[in-house]
Amino acid sequence: MTAPEEGEFKIVFTGPMGAGKTTAIAAISEVEPVRTEVDNSDRENHEKEYTTVGFDFGRITLPGGHPVRLYGTPGQARFRFMWSILGRGAAGVIILLDATRADALEQLDLFVDAFLPLVPPGAIVVGIGRNAEPGAVATDAFATRMEARGLVAPVLTIDAREPRDVRLLVHTLTCILESRVPAGACA
């Protein structure tokens, strides 16, 4: 696993606007998260008050005392230049998606294409939110989409507000990276 001098490593949360990246990091961060949010000027497409324009930052400690830096990307394509900046040096990526969006599968492709070259092979976990809502894309459709691309990645249904769900995403990713994570991180 790529780790800076202090022994920390980096996980990036990415996905489209409104998928829950800021919320997920806030749900598990052991420090007050840093947020770079501004008023949402795209209320026509997303009924949320604020949107991330730079990045979100939080920090957690894995079992065994291994620190992890959590970065959240902006979801809007106009801030795509930040994706490669934030993805550099990441141990892995967690892609969050909103299953109620009609373009959810296309969004999966967009974020996989952007982050696959930036992280070690297999270092992707997908979290699907709002999957119980009427008209939501079935979770299996996301797994099938990954398989059709020749990729194997865990696809989990989550609620980004629930610390237990977000920790499961992080735990799943660290277990995928177990050969690069110091012993005990997946205990």
- Cα–Cα dist 12/72, whole Å: 6
pLDDT at 6 over 50: no
* Averaged pLDDT for residues 90-103: 96
**pLDDT for res 27:** 96
Domains of the chain: 9-176 (3.40.50.300)
Q: Are 27 and 86 in contact (CB under 8 A)?
A: no
pLDDT band at 52 (very low <50, low <70, confident <90, very high): low
- Cα–Cα dist 37/81, whole Å: 17
In terms of C-beta density within 10 A (0-12 exposed, 13-18 middle, 19 or more buried), how is residue 150 classed?
exposed
